[in-house]
Homo-oligomer: A and B are copies of this chain.
Amino acid sequence: MSKAARSDTPSGRLTLLTLARDLGVSRATVSNAYNRPDQLSPALRARILARAAELGFTGPDPMARGLRRGRVGAVGVLVDESLSYAFSDPTSVLFLDGLAREVQADGLGLLLHPALRDPAALRALADAAVDAWVVQSLPDGHPAVGVVSSRGRPVVVVDQPALPGVPVVGIDDASGATTAVRHLTRLGHRRLAVLAMPLGCDRRQGRADTERQRSAEYAVMRRRLAGAAAAVAEADLDWADVPVVEVAANEPDAAARAAAELLTGPDRPTGVFASTDQLALGVVRAARDLGLAVPGDLSVVGFDDSPAARSAEPPLTTVAQPLRDRGQRVGVLVRAALRGEEVGVPAPAVVGLVVRSSTAPPPGARGRR
């Protein structure tokens, strides 16, 4: 009979039809053997599956099935620029892990695409076969976001950018930052500084004036800076006097270089709010290299509560956001949208400060509080 099968399909490609002809049943029945076991007798199903294994047929073609059913089993993830950045940032890693675990339940994989700006890459995005898109923390107005959201598939945004009618899973960045900076001012710090991730795509670095802050392309940074500014004002200090230093990349190394400069001046800050833990780790390292004790000479507050913050030396005081949870929550929204449910925009999660050992009253202060 395998002879018949061969001669029927000279091409040699194995399809449902091949198998159906070989067994003398209809295509629909073979299809049902794979997709709806209740639609045919167990005996016939067993016979079909056995013969399939014999012939080396491994099941229906994913693309054909995808076309017919309107599903491919993939959730697209649009990650910022290079994948290596997305992977090296622990924040991102935990997020992806949480997301992957959640969507796994429906047999979905993650299709990673970097959000590049050149036409070829944009075309590749438009052509990507996915059931839904997850946009992971991209700057406002990034062209790739437009491309994926115009495809008509469900979209879930993480953190940024805000899109009309699209659910965003995020946190209350502003109040988180306020809490962090307030912690410093309550400890008595009056000379503060802030470290920021890149505010735009122009790779600029160094001191960022208020204009630059307000026009930052990353909404998350805008919000965190605004939150920090609020706490500063609350303490009767002038935000314009607080140096905001933009770091070239969200990495400890880059932050350490930026911080070194900040910490060598005559009236160096006694308290630094680093807007991510990665940056905070760099500040701590820079301080150590300069012979400054943390928290004795310098207090450092981070943001995110990444695993590294916990195991750092000293353990970082930081704003805790539930990293893996976020991934899971995005996954839940994606699955719901794929089931056709109308998903609302969830409220941003509130975040709390975790006080560890990287903060203390400024040197010379007598524990005023």
User: A residues within 8 Å of B by Cβ?
Assistant: 56, 58-67, 70, 72-74, 76, 82-84, 87-88, 90, 93-94, 96-97, 100-101, 104, 107-114, 116, 120-121, 123-124, 126-130, 147, 150-152, 253, 311
Assess the A150–B110 pair: CB atoms within 8 A.
Answer: no
Q: What are the nearest 9 A-B pairs in CB distance?
A: A107-B124, A84-B97, A62-B129, A87-B93, A63-B66, A109-B113, A83-B100, A63-B67, A110-B112
Given A58-B150, A97-B82, A112-B112, is A129 in contact with B63 using a C-beta cutoff of 8 Å?
yes
Question: Complex: how many Å from CA A299 to CA B130?
Answer: 50
Q: Chain B CB within 10 Å — which of A61, A113, A127 has the most?
A: A127
Name the residue of chain B whose CB is nearest to the CB of A98: B84
Assess the A120–B107 pair: CB atoms within 8 A.
Answer: yes
* B-side contacts of A112, CB under 8 Å: 100, 109-112
* B-side contacts of A311, CB under 8 Å: 253
Assess the B129–A100 pair: CB atoms within 8 A.
Answer: no
Nearest CB on B from A148, distance (A): 10
* B-side contacts of A104, CB under 8 Å: 114, 116, 121, 124
Assess the B126–A58 pair: CB atoms within 8 A.
Answer: yes
Question: Complex: how many Å from CA A107 to CA B4?
Answer: 40
Nearest CB on B from A110, distance (A): 5
Name the residue of chain B whose CB is nearest to the CB of A74: B111
* B-side contacts of A121, CB under 8 Å: 104, 107
Across the interface, A83 reaches (CB within 8 A) one of B58, B67, B97, B129, namely B97
Given A56-B150, A73-B127, A73-B129, is A111 in contact with B111 using a C-beta cutoff of 8 Å?
yes
Across the interface, A96 reaches (CB within 8 A) one of B74, B87, B101, B109, namely B87
* B-side contacts of A110, CB under 8 Å: 83, 111-112
Listed by A's residue number, 5 A-B pairs whose Cβ atoms lie within 8 Å are A67-B67, A83-B110, A107-B124, A107-B127, A110-B112
* B-side contacts of A64, CB under 8 Å: 67
* B-side contacts of A70, CB under 8 Å: 63
Assess the B74–A84 pair: CB atoms within 8 A.
Answer: no
Assess the B74–A128 pair: CB atoms within 8 A.
Answer: yes
Given A64-B67, A104-B114, A114-B104, is A109 in contact with B84 using a C-beta cutoff of 8 Å?
no
Across the interface, A127 reaches (CB within 8 A) one of B65, B67, B88, namely B65
* New A-B pairs, 20, CB < 8 Å, besides A83-B97, A110-B112, A112-B112: A58-B150, A58-B152, A60-B127, A63-B66, A63-B70, A66-B67, A72-B72, A73-B128, A74-B128, A74-B129, A84-B93, A84-B96, A87-B93, A88-B90, A107-B121, A107-B124, A109-B124, A109-B128, A111-B111, A111-B112
